[in-house]
A = this chain, B = another copy of it.
Amino acid sequence: MNFCSNCGSKQISLKIPEGDSLPRFCCEQCGEIFYQNPKIVVGCLPVFEDKILMCKRAIEPRAGFWNLPAGYLENGETAEEGAIRETYEEAHAQVEIIRLHVLYSIPQFNQVYLHFLARMKSPDFSISTLESTEVRMFAYHEIPWQDIAFSSSTFAIEKFLEAKNSSYEGVHRGYFPGIPNR
């Protein structure tokens, strides 16, 4: 942050505003305070007849790796609407939400993932899209574990496979590997 987006001043300092407890970018000219907060990544674990839909990423980061369809929640959307939209954009698949499956925080990157378990309304999808160089259904024994783009997808699929024969309907909570004592 080099300039105040409100008044254009260059007098931006990183300091703790009065009554606050964390440093924020503050404009010394007009007094505006700029808060930066984590972003929400919403996605689905789309299932159809014992297979899971995954997308090979066309876009960096981690282009060429497989992932569950997911992306940033946009203003004006519910979490569920964002997850359904991302699944359509990345795979042209239409899903309905079954339940929230995973809550996964990556505090190092200021991200919180919400992955929904979702039922594909039909087996239709596109084998490639603007956002995915390849889209396919994987049987449970075919999951490309070594080529998954993000740890959030690995966690979501692991927990799905572990719990699929149990009656547990709760959310699986996880964190980016390597955070001690969390």
A residues lining the B interface (CB < 8 Å): 1-8, 10, 19, 21-22, 34-40, 72-81, 89, 99-100, 103, 105, 107-108, 110, 112, 114, 130, 168-171, 173, 175, 179, 182
Contacts and interface: CB of A to CB of B under 8 A. Distances in A.
B169 A38 contact: no
Contacts of A100: 100, 103, 170-171, 173
B7 A5 contact: no
A77 B108 CA distance: 8
Contacts of A173: 80, 99-100
A2 B5 contact: yes
Contact of A99 (B37, B105, B171): B171
A170 to B, nearest CB: 4
A39 B38 CA distance: 7
A138 to B, nearest CB: 25
**Dominant secondary structure at the A interface:** loop
User: How many copies of this kind of chain does the complex include?
Assistant: 2
A170 B5 contact: no
B10 A2 contact: no
Contacts of A107: 75-78, 81
B103 A79 contact: yes
Given A99-B171, A100-B103, A103-B114, A37 B2 contact: no
A111 B46 CA distance: 25
Nearest to A113: B79
